[in-house]
């Protein structure tokens, strides 16, 4: 038998049965929607960037005629956000000034792309457009090359009180979430605003295991409760090619590693809670990338919250960096203020 050509195409991994079923269902829904005259619309999420590049985040949906700008879909709440129909594998043009780049939305209609566009530091906009739709503006926070500090924050039970059993949390965020029915963790918005004032121009990254379907509601919650503007890194709902449900823990781990590569000179304040895997993930990350961590702040759940979360997940993994714990933002602020040598506050 002849030897295989070393340049032969490597076959794609075999998809999980759930993923194949999901793809088939989506293809049927998409075909019916296109026959019914639905049109593509873009919903843009806050991205970020650095010196000469930006990471653009958005989602392509199929909407009723007249709603191509996507505004009404940005305000969709609860289960309707989950049933919104994404348009897969469609080309999206990203433009800024005279620069134009074409990327492709993934199998969930999500655009998550790095493009070589040079913008001045601070909040800027790029324009997104898909054939048959109106262009939309996508905000991106461009980090100044001189920046040396940033914040990575969990969302559920860190900035927003969940009060739900963990097994129901993903379903709640996808099907029910209405930001008016959720309350902020006391003092966290004030803490973050003080940090933003102490470190002007520093990026805030809200890292969550929530689905992109919930992104508009989460953005409204953060804005309404006066949290500093920042980029959100969420995940897609449903199966992957090799498992029934996505791993939220792995999602967070991969995004932290990515931030370390993209911003090698930034040291992050990592903020989470003790009801999930935040302590474990932050400890692992801090030990792998000690130069990229300034400190770790953990919000302690109340007794009731801990019961709903399935208990506290105190990790054995720690790092040599400063770690602080408190049940609210005020307590974390006091603990961080005591770290005067780190100048976090």
Q: Are residues 89 and 227 in the same domain?
A: no
Question: Alpha helix locations (H) across 166-296?
Answer: 166-175, 188-198, 215-224, 248-262, 278-288
Domain finish residue from 142, 163, 179:
142
Q: Are residues 75 and 189 in the same domain?
A: no
Q: Are residues 155 and 82 in the same domain?
A: no
Q: Are residues 122 and 175 in the same domain?
A: no
In a domain, 205, yes or no: yes
Supply the pTM of this predicted model: 0.82
Residues 6 or more apart in contact with residue 257 via CB below 8 angstroms: 285, 288
Domain finish residue from 142, 159, 191:
142
In a domain, 42, yes or no: yes
Q: What is the pLDDT of residue 82?
A: 45
In a domain, 342, yes or no: no
Domain with 282 in it: 149-337
Q: Are residues 179 and 327 in the same domain?
A: yes
Q: How far apart are CA 246 and CA 249, in angstroms?
A: 9
In a domain, 295, yes or no: yes
Q: Are residues 132 and 239 in the same domain?
A: no
3-state secondary structure of 147: coil
Domain finish residue from 113, 142, 171:
142
Q: What is the pLDDT of residue 6?
A: 39
Residue 50's nearest CA partner among 191, 254, 205, 272 is: 205
Q: What is the pLDDT of residue 191?
A: 97
Instruction: Kindly give the confidence (pLDDT) of every residue in the chain, 345 residues in length, as a single tens digit, with 9 standing for 90 and above.
Output: 444 443 334 344 555 555 555 555 556 565 665 566 568 889 999 999 999 999 999 999 887 776 555 444 455 444 344 446 888 889 999 999 999 999 999 888 899 999 999 999 999 999 999 987 889 999 999 999 999 999 999 998 899 987 655 555 555 555 555 666 678 999 999 999 999 999 999 999 999 988 888 888 889 899 999 999 999 999 876 544 444 345 678 999 999 999 999 999 999 999 999 887 899 999 999 999 999 999 999 999 876 665 555 545 555 666 789 999 999 999 999 999 998 777 787
Find how far residue 5's CA is from the centre of its chain.
41
Q: Which helix (H) or strand (E) holds 243?
A: none
- Give me the number of domains the chain comprises: 2
In a domain, 31, yes or no: no
- Output the domain CATH number for residue 250: 3.40.50.1000
Q: Which long-range contacts (CB under 8 A, 24 or more apart) does 114-118 make?
A: 114/53, 114/54, 114/55, 114/56, 115/53, 115/54, 115/56, 116/52, 116/53, 117/49, 117/52, 117/53, 117/54, 118/51, 118/52, 118/53
Q: Are residues 316 and 175 in the same domain?
A: yes
Q: What is the pLDDT of residue 340?
A: 75
Question: Alpha helix locations (H) across the chain?
Answer: 17-35, 71-74, 79-83, 166-175, 188-198, 215-224, 248-262, 278-288, 303-308, 329-337
Structure tokens at 203: 């990026």
Q: Are residues 120 and 220 in the same domain?
A: no
Strands 136-142, 39-50: pairing kind: parallel
Are 154 and 273 within 8 A, CB to CB?
Answer: yes
Q: Are residues 253 and 271 in the same domain?
A: yes
Q: What is the pLDDT of residue 227?
A: 97
HEC string of 311-330 equals CCCCCCCCCCCCEEEECCHH
In a domain, 29, yes or no: no
Q: Are residues 125 and 162 in the same domain?
A: no
Q: How far apart are CA 269 and CA 296, in angstroms?
A: 6
In a domain, 5, yes or no: no
Structure tokens at 297: 């702040």
Q: Are residues 48 and 171 in the same domain?
A: no
3-state secondary structure of 177: coil
In a domain, 7, yes or no: no
Sole residue written with tokens 């759930």? 18
- Output the domain CATH number for residue 53: 2.60.40.10
Q: Are residues 92 and 159 in the same domain?
A: no
């Amino acid at each position: 038998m002849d030897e295989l050509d070393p340049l032969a195409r490597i076959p794609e991994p075999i998809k999980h049965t759930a993923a194949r079923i999901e793809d088939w269902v989506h293809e049927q829904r998409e075909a019916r929607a296109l026959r019914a005259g639905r049109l593509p619309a873009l919903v843009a999420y806050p991205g970020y960037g650095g010196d000469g590049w930006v990471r653009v985040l958005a989602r392509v949906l199929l909407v009723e005629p007249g709603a191509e700008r996507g505004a009404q879909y940005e305000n969709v709440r609860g289960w309707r956000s989950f049933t919104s129909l994404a348009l897969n594998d469609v080309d999206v043009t990203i433009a800024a000034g005279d620069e134009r780049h074409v990327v492709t939305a993934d199998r969930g209609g999500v655009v998550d792309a790095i493009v070589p566009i040079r913008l001045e530091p601070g909040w800027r906009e790029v324009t997104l457009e898909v054939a048959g739709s109106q262009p939309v503006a996508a905000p991106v926070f461009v980090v100044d090359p001189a920046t040396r500090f940033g914040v990575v924050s969990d969302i559920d039970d860190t900035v927003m009180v969940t009060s739900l059993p963990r097994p129901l949390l993903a379903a709640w965020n996808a099907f029910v979430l209405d930001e008016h029915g959720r309350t902020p963790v006391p003092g966290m918005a004030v803490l973050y605003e003080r940090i933003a004032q102490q470190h002007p121009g520093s990026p805030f990254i809200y890292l969550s295991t929530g689905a992109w379907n919930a992104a508009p509601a989460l953005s409204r919650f953060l804005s309404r409760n006066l949290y500093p503007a920042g980029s959100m890194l969420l995940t897609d709902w449903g199966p992957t090619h090799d498992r029934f449900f996505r791993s939220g823990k792995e999602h967070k781990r991969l995004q932290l590693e990515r931030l370390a590569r993209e911003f090698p000179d930034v040291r992050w304040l990592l903020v989470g809670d003790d009801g999930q895997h935040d302590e474990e993930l932050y400890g692992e990350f801090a030990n792998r990338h000690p130069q990229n961590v300034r400190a770790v702040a953990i919000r302690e759940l109340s007794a009731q919250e801990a019961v709903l979360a399935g208990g506290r997940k105190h990790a054995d993994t720690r790092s040599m960096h400063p770690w602080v714990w408190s049940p609210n933002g005020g307590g974390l602020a006091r603990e961080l203020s005591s770290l005067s040598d780190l100048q976090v506050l």
